[in-house]
Amino acid sequence: MCCTTLRGSLTALGLLCLAATAIQAQEAPPVPETLRKQLLEIEQAWDDAIVAKDLSVLQRIMAPGFTFIDADGSITERQALLDGIASPKLAIDPFFTRDVQVRVYGATAVLTGWFEQTGTYEGKRFRVRQRYTDVYVRQDTSWVAVSAHASNLATT
């Protein structure tokens, strides 16, 4: 290996180590229990509203510019997602999220976890397990979801 290439590789490795150290230094501060509980209650209300097809609750939770990124990389805007949930073709069984982690950075909250969801679509049973990230921002005294992403987990 040429000295210049080696030096370049070592420089890149050094920069990577510095970046990793900077990221570690920016760990999320502890979340007060009352705030953690409030955000988890919003998550539960979101799940319950999906099952009940309660669009008024979902409209309060999701900001007007909300976007959902599905496991296949497709993007669904707020209204299309609401329309899909409201569809009579879809019925979702009650479900619960698991291992939810709450991190708060000022007026932004990031919740991650996973869920298993079952139901029917056009009369056919389905089952998905997904890891998710929900991003909320504080607007005045309430939190609204601005983005969500889901990745498929293997079904067992």
pLDDT digits (tens, 9 = 90+) for 134-153: 999 999 889 999 999 999 99
70 with 130, same domain? Answer: yes
- Cα 5 to Cα 15, 17, 96, 102: the distances in Å are 15, 18, 52, 43
pTM of the predicted model, to two decimals? Answer: 0.80
Rg of the Cα trace of the chain?
Answer: 20
25 with 53, same domain? Answer: no
Q: Give the residue with greater pLDDT, 82 vs 15.
A: 82
Question: Tens digits of per-residue pLDDT, 100-116?
Answer: 999 999 999 999 999 99
79 with 8, same domain? Answer: no
Mean pLDDT, the chain, rounded, equals: 88
pLDDT at 116: 95
The phi, psi pair for 44, rounded to 5°, reads: -65, -40
Say whether pLDDT at 13 is over 70: no
Question: Which residues pair with residue 20 across a beta bridge?
Answer: none
Q: Give the residue with greater pLDDT, 134 vs 19.
A: 134
Say whether pLDDT at 79 is over 50: yes
114 with 37, same domain? Answer: yes
Q: How many domains does the chain have?
A: 2
Confidence of residue 26 (pLDDT cuts 50, 70, 90): low
pLDDT at 156: 65
Question: Can you give the residue range of the structural domain that contains 52?
Answer: 31-153
74 with 114, same domain? Answer: yes
Cβ pair 135, 103 in contact under 8 A: no
24 with 88, same domain? Answer: no
pLDDT at 29: 85
Cβ pair 100, 86 in contact under 8 A: no
25 with 51, same domain? Answer: no
